[in-house]
Amino acid sequence: MEIKNLFPEIIEIKNEELREKVVKSLEKAISLGGWTEEELHRIPFTLLIPELVNSDLSVKISIIDHIRAVTQMCITTYERYEFLNLADNLNKDELIAGGLLHDVGKFVEYEKDPTGKIVQNKAGKILRHPAQGLEIVYEFNLPLSVRQAIIFHSKEGDKIKRLTEVEIIHRCDFLCFEPVRKIYGY
Ligand SMILES: [Fe+2]
């Protein structure tokens, strides 16, 4: 499985060391989860919208689609900040790395039940993907902003002072969730 083909946005990270750490983190999470490349496209990005899963167990928006869309929104946000002459305040590489890794824990939070349905596993229920994601990447010594994106992009970070890059990732993540939920009537 070629991680750079699965997530083409990785090549937008200019710093080679960070780029490789992102590849290794995703590789490790996917291998810990035991997913094949085909199965990855059958993981819904959330379990809160059952309609995302079709009767043949294919999905309308996979976790891969979601991670890519969030990262693309982060890149577009960076470009709008360039328009506003604010981009110097952002680390573009870390913003992209954080977008790509914010849900890295979901590859271990979910598992396939005997019927092939994707469910949250026991550790996933207790720890959730933000904490599980931080556990996975500990050995790669990622920048603090990327680590904060993993552990605090979701509700866990609501009482935390998010860094600017993480604030953007958090909002792009919710843009790829709340309106989708409304579209499906929740
Ligand atoms: Fe997400």
What's the pLDDT score for residue 124?
98
CATH architecture of 3-183: Orthogonal Bundle (1.10)
Structural domain boundaries of the chain? 3-183
The tokens of 157 are what? 């970070």
What's the pLDDT score for residue 123?
98
From ligand 1's centre to the CA of 167, what distance in Å? Answer: 13
Amino acid at 119: V
What's phi and psi for 180, nearest 5 deg?
-65, -45
What's the pLDDT score for residue 57?
94
Give the 3-state secondary structure of the chain.
CCHHHHCHHHHHCCCHHHHHHHHHHHHHHHHHHCCCHHHHCCCECCCCCHHHECCCCCECCEHHHHHHHHHHHHHHHHHHHHHCCCHHHCCHHHHHHHHHHCCCCHHHHEEECCCCCEEECHHHHHHHHHHHHHHHHHHHCCCHHHHHHHHHCCHHHCCCCCCHHHHHHHHHHHHCCHHHHHHCCC
From ligand 1's centre to the CA of 118, what distance in Å? Answer: 16
What's the pLDDT score for residue 6?
98
pLDDT in tens, the chain (186 residues): 999 999 999 999 999 999 999 999 999 999 999 999 999 999 999 999 999 999 999 999 999 999 999 999 999 999 999 999 999 999 999 999 999 999 999 999 999 999 999 999 999 999 999 999 999 999 999 999 999 999 999 999 999 999 999 999 999 999 999 999 999 999
From ligand 1's centre to the CA of 40, what distance in Å? Answer: 15
From ligand 1's centre to the CA of 103, what distance in Å? Answer: 5
CA–CA separation, 56 and 115 (whole Å):
12
From ligand 1's centre to the CA of 67, what distance in Å? Answer: 6
What's the pLDDT score for residue 111?
98
What's the pLDDT score for residue 106?
98
pTM above 0.85, yes or no: yes
162 backbone φψ class: left, alpha, beta (φ>0; ψ -120 to 50): beta
What's the pLDDT score for residue 66?
98
From ligand 1's centre to the CA of 164, what distance in Å? Answer: 17
From ligand 1's centre to the CA of 16, what distance in Å? Answer: 24
